[in-house]
Structure 1
Amino acid sequence: MVELDAVTRQFPNGVTALDAVTVAFAPATFTAVMGPSGSGKSTLLQCAAGLDRPTSGRVTIAGQDLTGLSERRLTLLRRDRIGFVFQAFNLLPALTARQNVGLPLRLAGRRPDRGALDRALAAVGLADRAGHRPHELSGGQQQRVAIARALVTSPAVLFADEPTGALDTATGRDVLRLLRTLVDEHGQTIVMVTHDPVAAAHADRVLFLTDGRCSGSLDAPTAAAVAARMTGLGVAS
């Protein structure tokens, strides 16, 4: 679903955030990306999602080569084919949950179908909260609304950057179980950047980065195995 081929990202200050990274993310899989601070995790996500352009190399999403796309075409691709979930929920406080979910469609000039919005909320367990505004929802419920908003356009891939970072442990695990369900029952492809071995253990595979390069992966991860690998990369548990 997503392929990076020899992707390098160098910044004007001389820092090489990604160094010839080649990796593929298969459809209907959940991949966690981990590594020490400054290893290139966020840069990998940004390049893979079309938010940043590599210095060299190629990124392909659902068969579409991003190389050479104009900013307009890249914006349309992100809008129609890519979902984003971040640590911050980024919900508009004056809008209900249903209206927040429908916002990407309105911004695209499309009239949201109420049934489709309600189905998106039902998929994240919030069918009975459609009329509630963000201040009437818990942090976990707000993140679920943000996930529903990301899913409403039926994206080819969902990119998540520390999606549980602002949540308490129990709520965070509820959100991670939801992401797991989206993969197992709905065939969603998810790529998640995280620093948490427990969060990574919900994925099918963990990809490790060090100094902008792939430094291995771990299939069917457990929290203990991920923590041990991270310790081996020089990161304190």
Structure 2
Amino acid sequence: MVSLHDLRMEFRAGPDPVTALDGVTADLPAGSFTAVMGPSGSGKSTLLHCAAGLEQPTSGEVVLDGVRLGELDETGLTVLRRERVGFVFQAFNLISSLNAAQNVALPARLAGRRVNEVELAAALTRVGLSDRARHRPVELSGGQQQRVAIARALFTRPAVLFADEPTGALDGPTSRHILALLRELVDEHGQTVVMVTHDPVAAAIADQVMLLADGRLIDRLEAASAATIAARMASVEATC
């Protein structure tokens, strides 16, 4: 579903460039759950942004759902992000004056699309919020707000759902519910999910874990336990 080939990203910070990604190559299969981990400054969020078409890499190639992102202009990237990509972030980014249903439907309305009320109701049911459709964000818990954000991201039926620290602002039990929902989307609906996280427990629900350090992909763990991931992360951080 997502292929990264020799991805490099450099930023200018004073007289010398800073390398955020240094030749990352990886395949993220359709219908899989990938967690991206690494120490602070390792390039996790930059990788996510390049893979999702939010930023253009300095060099290398990203192919998302068969589309070569480097061949698209800004209009093409905007259309791709709107139609094939879903985003969930640590901040829920809900509009406070809109209720849950209106927040879920907002991207479609902004794109000038007619909103199917049956599909809208189904999206909220899918995340367990069928009884909260008319509630505004202030009337919802943090976990419920994140579920609205997930429903909004999935409403356009994206090829890939990108999540950047989706449980970072939530307590333990609520985090587990959100992670279970993401796992369910992969297992029962074939959704492709790519998640940046710093939490080994969260990463352990993924099919594979990509470990970054200094902008490079240094390891890939498959079906690893939280203890295994934590131990590997500790060894990485000790060398950084």
Quickly name the TM-score band, shorter chain normalised: over 0.9
The within-5 A match list for 1:176-191 is 176-191=179-194
Q: Does 1:15 align with 2:53?
A: no
Shift of 1:234: 1.6
Residue matched to 1:53: 56
Shift of 1:70: 0.7
CA-based RMSD: 1.0
**Cα separation, 2, equivalents of 1:206 and 1:132:** 36
**Cα separation, 2, equivalents of 1:202 and 1:91:** 26
Q: SS of 1:233's equivalent?
A: helix
Return the TM-score normalized by structure 1: 0.98
Moved more, 144-153 or 7-16: 7-16
Q: Does 1:139 align with 2:146?
A: no
**Cα separation, 2, equivalents of 1:92 and 1:42:** 24
Residue matched to 2:32: 29
Q: Does 1:221 align with 2:224?
A: yes
**Cα separation, 2, equivalents of 1:111 and 1:100:** 15
Post-superposition CA distance 1:195-222 (Å, at most 9, x none): 0001101111100001100011110021
Residue matched to 2:116: 113
Q: Which runs of 5+ in 2 are unaligned?
A: none
**Cα separation, 2, equivalents of 1:61 and 1:234:** 31
**Cα separation, 2, equivalents of 1:222 and 1:148:** 28
Post-superposition CA distance 1:4-24 (Å, at most 9, x none): 111100112310100111011
Structure 2 letter corresponding to 1:3: S
Q: Does 1:74 align with 2:84?
A: no
**Cα separation, 1, equivalents of 2:149 and 2:187:** 20
**Cα separation, 2, equivalents of 1:163 and 1:134:** 17
Shift of 1:169: 0.6
**Cα separation, 1, equivalents of 2:224 and 2:181:** 18
Q: SS of 1:15's equivalent?
A: strand
**Cα separation, 2, equivalents of 1:109 and 1:119:** 20
**Cα separation, 2, equivalents of 1:55 and 1:173:** 36
Residue matched to 1:95: 98
Structure 1 letter corresponding to 2:99: T
Is this contact kept in 2: 1:2–1:60, CA < 8 A?
yes
Return the TM-score normalized by structure 2: 0.97
**Cα separation, 1, equivalents of 2:131 and 2:27:** 38
**Cα separation, 2, equivalents of 1:169 and 1:43:** 26
Shift of 1:68: 2.8
Post-superposition CA distance 1:133-184 (Å, at most 9, x none): 1111110000000000000000000000000000001101100000000000
Residue matched to 1:169: 172
**Cα separation, 2, equivalents of 1:128 and 1:74:** 35
Post-superposition CA distance 1:57-80 (Å, at most 9, x none): 110000000013110110000000
**Cα separation, 2, equivalents of 1:77 and 1:195:** 28
Shift of 1:235: 5.7
Q: Which runs of 5+ in 1 are unaligned?
A: none
Post-superposition CA distance 1:59-111 (Å, at most 9, x none): 00000000131101100000000000000001111111010000010010112
- The runs of at least 4 consecutive aligned structure 1 residues that moved more than 6 Å come to none
Is this contact kept in 2: 1:36–1:235, CA < 8 A?
no
